[in-house]
Amino acid sequence: MPIPQQVLDAGPEAVRTYKAALPYGEKWASMCALQCPPGTKGTDRAFNQGRYNQQQFDDMPKPMAEHMLREARAAGISTAGKQYVGGLADKRAHKDPEAWVDSTADIVRVARKRNLTVEGIVSHKGIPVPPKRAPLSEKIIAEDMRHYRKLHPNKKAGELREMIIAKHSYRPKGK
């Protein structure tokens, strides 16, 4: 049975420990030889595995990766030692500083701050909130005011505004 390369790289003492622990299983022998537990969900080791030195961009077309990094740096974001997590980003995408994280604690911090539900390397459940509804867009009211002034020339601006909102705004069912 071949000895894993990581164990060989760790030196002769690690190889001896590996061989001594091998009767208890390969994974156990590797853990003992390397003095390191396997990566598990929620650990920074598991999160950063395969992501060092911007490796997350290796599977992406090079011009696109360079463009994302260039724009992030132009937005004042230090990308050194950080990974871009698109699920945390707001509408700015890769230009959002909160979407560039360096640890699982960072992911949880952003998820709490933005009330996001996150599942994967870490878990956080966001609190459902009803959508905020404005009575009506000011742009729509302004456009309709011109039309309503022609239909109702004797009404004041405040009355016309109330008429427009009453007719065109969102009303929950039953109200």
* Residue whose C-alpha is closest to residue 87's, from 98, 74, 75: 98
- pTM comes to 0.58
Distance CA 101, CA 2 (A): 37
pLDDT score at 174: 63
Check: CB of residue 135 under 8 Å from CB of residue 165: yes
Give, for all 175 residues of the chain, the pLDDT tens digit.
789 888 998 899 999 999 999 999 998 999 999 888 776 777 887 787 777 777 888 888 999 999 999 999 999 999 888 899 999 999 999 999 999 999 999 999 999 999 999 988 888 999 998 877 777 888 888 888 888 898 888 889 889 888 888 888 877 666 5
Domain segments of the chain as ranges: 5-38, 47-114, 138-168
